[in-house]
Amino acid sequence: MNVKVIGKIIGLIFIGMGYLLVKDLSLSNGFIFNTILQGLIGYFLVITGVGFLFSEILEKNKLLSFIYNKILSIPAIVLIYFMYIIAPILSILLFLGIYFLPSMLFLRLGESYPILEQYSQGVIYILSLLSVLFFAYRSNVVMGFIIESFKTKLFRNYLERYTDPAFTRMYTYMIMIAIYISYNFLTFSNINLNFIPSEMLNVIKEVFVTFVAIDSLIQIILNKQHEKQEKKPKTEGKEQKG
């Protein structure tokens, strides 16, 4: 995928996350420090998202670039040193937020537009499946982009190493198996958890089953391609001898 396209997608996601933080300042439970911090982080995410989304325009227009870099970015500068300290944690939170945000935004839309409610589980199933597949196979691309964007230095090697597809596929299986076993245990025991909708657990269970099927198919295709590549040198060697 083109780097510019990834930048615009990340920009939209950052703006969405920042908007949700600023809109729901009530999540800070009334503490002044938490409210200020949540507002600053929300503002920072929006400003960063705008920078990613309109980077080409800001590069060409000196006036807009000056306003963006020298005026609008002033509140964000307060977080620079703070971000350096918590950059690894922030990278992980943003990394996870990217995968959960689509479903969260659709649920919000469902509250505003009741007509979408009948499709909610189906759409969330598709969004969750795509997110899980992207998480399993392209996490290193997303984490690499986040690391470069925030100039993450602390634990950089660990973040890059443990978001490699070899690890993320393992994480995905571990998480989904845990959810699958939990769902079956609760179902067979007739236990209803009020804080977790049973419909949501059912969707996640189906996502796991579909993911296993797709992942197995992908691995079969990759193994077949690998076998063909290994056989080619042997075949070429025999032809040269002949």
Of residues 173 and 92, the one with the higher pLDDT is 173
pLDDT digit string, tens, across residues 111-167: 777 777 778 888 888 988 888 888 888 888 877 877 777 666 767 787 788 888 888
- Share in percent of the chain as helix, strand, coil (round to 5): 90, 0, 10
pLDDT digit string, tens, across residues 181-222: 888 888 888 887 766 666 677 788 888 889 999 999 999 998
pTM: 0.56
Q: Are 135 and 164 in contact (CB under 8 A)?
A: no
Burial 178-201 (b: 16+ CB within 10 A, else e): eebeebeeeeeeeeeeeeeeeeeb
* Angle at CA of residue 46, ends 119 and 28, nearest 5°: 80
pLDDT digit string, tens, across residues 45-65: 888 888 888 888 877 888 888
Q: How far is CA 144 from CA 105, 109, 155, in A?
A: 25, 30, 13
